């Protein structure tokens, strides 16, 4: 996969195969990779330093083909899931399990750790929407896929499930809490599903795509409402939650939110702010006083219009981070194996890697009721 | 600037209200206090390589591993080099990077053409998907684009012909 500019990607058969560049590198032959909702921010040209020629893809699994001399925990032929964060395991942040905030994987920026295929702002690594990928720190990130695990479940454990789970975890949900999730994309769907694991008493999802609302009602056994049918989503949520607001609000949308003309024009069209912060704005205003807002939606590196005064006056706790995939994997593997989570249930499209440009367009334009797309390098899978 | 700590142990009441449970980052962060060591930890082996790598000025050296995907080049590369003279806190860093990204798109097209390849926009934009799943929407979009293009061309032609006519009138009036 080769990025050519906003809304333009193509298959590139001439890109050189990756090589071992560091003693802790591995080369992984990809067997499944996904298109993530946050890949769309790159695809739409919203992430600074997204260079033409880059290969996207931070959700992938594959087979270890080659190992650097300092990799001891893997062997050639292992089937591995590779967390989307590149983490060294040695810096103060990794040592404290903040694997999404590694300080030794991104030369280009300090605010974000290295991420596969996510622009030069996230380290300039080629990603997994390819046949082969270079995986740095192979002793730290990759986890061998349990023998009985479906590869479609495994690939979703590299980002979607941990991010959705951490969204709920950061919400500090207490038994009986009302949780409102903004966004019924893959992450929002998973956050809604995971909210039950923490003892939520009521889970409400807000979006504007009817097919996604219908999907999340079934998949996550929750309530789901279309904000296009509300004059004021915040007021509606207040009324639905006994006028005090939700106990926990989760922003699972990020910088391409719809629903506010001002945010859309200044954030997405004119790029005067780091994307449209409509979902975050609603989350802050819909949560109760002393409540918690959990943010996993991706925003750009500059500034956003958010009601900071309300965060202060309501005494809110704002929690946010890239998911620490490696920290969460043992628990999440257990949840999948126990049948509490069914990641592959959100996959709607399985597409050969050769059709990557079509797959991006379908996902970006929400065609064919698309929720989650898995790319399969067809020759080898 | 020197990184130094105050002689806090001598401050009256120092630490009496410290409460390890007051840690809103749990369970994300398993607090160890390692942050206080700053950059004094055993760093992983440094990746070698002589590719041009733009480095955030908010760090003293390269990260131990780094991506080698697309080194900066051309006009967009020059703008990116300029952007990296500013910290991540400044618009002077991010806005030039966005500009460079747009210029890079044009450079990509020029590069394609110089290699004898015309970009296949129908394929790259994934329009086959639109044709398969949203034929009506595609037809509407094509119709609008055609109408706007035709209207613009007609307007330009009308303006240029009326300019010529006006010139003729002015000449005659002189």
A231 touches chain B (CB under 8 A): no
Query: Could you tell me if A21 lies within 8 Å of chain B, comparing CB atoms?
Result: yes
Helix (H, G, I), strand (E, B) or coil at B7: coil
For residue A166, the distance in angstroms to the closest alpha carbon of chain B comes to 8
Task: Specify the pTM.
Answer: 0.93
Banded pLDDT at B35 (limits 50, 70, 90): confident
Contacts of A88 in chain B (CB under 8 A): 44, 64-65
Instruction: Tell me the pLDDT tens digit for each residue of A157-198.
Output: 999 999 999 999 999 999 999 999 999 999 999 999 999 999
* Option in A52, A92, A109 nearest B35 (CB): A92
Question: Is B105's CB within 8 Å of A5's CB?
Answer: yes
Reply yes or no on whether the pLDDT at A381 is more than 60: no
Q: What is the 3-state secondary structure (H, E, C) of A112-160?
A: CCEEECCCHHHCCECCCCCCEEEECCCCCCCEECCCCCCHHHHHHCCCH
Contacts of A270 in chain B (CB under 8 A): none
- Angle (nearest 5°) at CA B8 between B6 and B9: 145
Contact list, A357 vs chain B (CB under 8 Å): 123-126
Task: Identify whether the C-beta of residue A68 lies closer than 8 Å to the C-beta of residue A24.
Answer: yes
- For position A110, what pLDDT does the model report? 96
**Alpha carbon A167 to its chain's center:** 10
Model confidence at A380: pLDDT above 50: no
pLDDT of B134 above 60: yes
**Total residues belonging to chain A:** 381
Given CB atoms, is A331 within the 8 Å cutoff of chain B? no
- Are residues B126 and A53, on separate chains, in Cβ contact within 8 Å? no
Closest chain A residue by Cα to residue B107: A52
Query: How far is the alpha carbon of A97 from chain B, nearest alpha carbon, in Å?
Result: 6
Q: Is the pLDDT of residue A154 over 80?
A: yes
Instruction: Please name the residues between 18 and 47 in chain B that touch chain A, using a CB distance below 8 Å.
Output: 24-25, 27-32, 34-35, 37-38, 41-45, 47
| pLDDT over 70 (residue B60) | yes
Residue B27 has pLDDT above 90, yes or no: no
The b-or-e profile of B78-98 (16+ CB within 10 A means b, else e) is ebbeebbebebeeeebbebbb
Residue B56: per-residue pLDDT: 98
| pLDDT mean over A3-30 | 96
- All residues of chain A having their beta carbon less than 8 Å from the beta carbon of residue B140 are none
Chain A partners within 8 Å of B91 (Cβ): 302
Residue A167 belongs to what H/E stretch? helix A160-170
**CB spacing of B70 vs A301 below 8 angstroms:** no
User: So what's the pLDDT on residue A159?
Assistant: 98
């Amino acid at each position: 996969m080769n990025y050519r500019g906003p809304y333009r990607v193509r298959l590139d058969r001439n890109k050189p195969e990756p090589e071992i560049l560091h003693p802790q590198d591995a080369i992984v032959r990809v067997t499944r990779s996904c298109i993530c909702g946050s890949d769309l921010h790159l695809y739409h040209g919203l992430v600074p330093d997204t260079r033409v020629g880059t290969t996207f893809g931070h959700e992938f699994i594959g087979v270890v083909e080659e190992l650097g001399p300092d990799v001891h925990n893997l062997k050639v032929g292992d089937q591995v899931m590779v967390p989307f964060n590149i983490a060294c395991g040695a810096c103060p942040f990794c040592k404290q399990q903040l694997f999404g905030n590694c300080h030794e994987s991104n030369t280009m920026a300090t605010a974000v750790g290295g991420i596969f295929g996510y622009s030069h702002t996230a380290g300039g690594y080629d990603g997994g929407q390819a046949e082969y990928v270079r995986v740095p720190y192979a002793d730290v990130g990759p986890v061998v896929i349990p023998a009985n695990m479906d590869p479609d479940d495994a690939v979703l454990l590299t980002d979607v499930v941990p991010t959705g789970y951490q969204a709920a975890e950061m919400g500090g949900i207490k038994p009986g809490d009302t949780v409102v999730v903004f966004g019924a994309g893959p992450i929002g769907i998973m956050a809604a599903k995971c909210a039950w694991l923490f003892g939520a008493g009521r889970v409400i999802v807000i979006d504007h795509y009817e097919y996604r609302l219908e999907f999340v009602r079934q998949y996550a056994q929750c309530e789901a409402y279309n904000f296009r049918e509300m004059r004021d989503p915040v007021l509606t949520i207040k009324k639905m939650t006994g006028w005090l607001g939700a106990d926990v609000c989760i922003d699972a949308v990020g910088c391409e939110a719809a629903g506010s003309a001002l945010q859309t024009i200044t954030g997405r069209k004119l790029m005067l702010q780091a994307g449209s912060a409509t979902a975050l704005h609603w989350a802050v205003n819909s949560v109760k006083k002393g409540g918690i807002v959990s943010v996993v939606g991706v925003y750009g590196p500059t500034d956003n219009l958010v009601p900071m005064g309300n965060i202060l006056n309501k005494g809110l706790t704002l929690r946010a981070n890239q998911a620490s995939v490696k920290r969460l994997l043992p628990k999440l593997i257990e949840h999948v194996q126990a049948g509490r989570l069914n990641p592959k249930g959100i996959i709607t499209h399985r597409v050969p890697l050769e059709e990557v440009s079509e797959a991006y367009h379908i996902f970006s334009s929400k065609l064919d009721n698309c929720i989650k797309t898995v790319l399969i390098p067809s020759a080898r899978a | 600037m020197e990184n130094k700590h105050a002689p806090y142990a001598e401050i009256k009441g120092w630490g009496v209200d410290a409460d390890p449970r007051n840690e809103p980052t749990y369970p994300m962060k398993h607090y160890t206090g390692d942050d206080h060591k700053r950059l004094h930890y055993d760093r992983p082996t440094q990746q070698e390589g002589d590719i041009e790598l733009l480095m955030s000025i908010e760090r003293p050296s390269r990260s131990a591993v780094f991506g080698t995907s697309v080194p900066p080049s051309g006009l967009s590369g020059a703008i990116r080099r300029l952007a990296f003279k500013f910290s991540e806190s400044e618009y002077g860093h991010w806005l030039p990077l966005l500009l460079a990204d747009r210029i890079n798109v044009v450079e990509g097209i020029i590069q394609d053409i110089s290699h004898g390849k015309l970009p296949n926009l129908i394929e790259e934009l994934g329009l086959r998907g639109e044709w398969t799943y949203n034929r009506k929407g595609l037809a509407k979009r094509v119709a609008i684009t055609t109408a706007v293009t035709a209207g613009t061309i007609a307007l330009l032609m009308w303006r240029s012909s009326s300019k010529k006519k006006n010139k003729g009138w002015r000449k005659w009036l002189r």
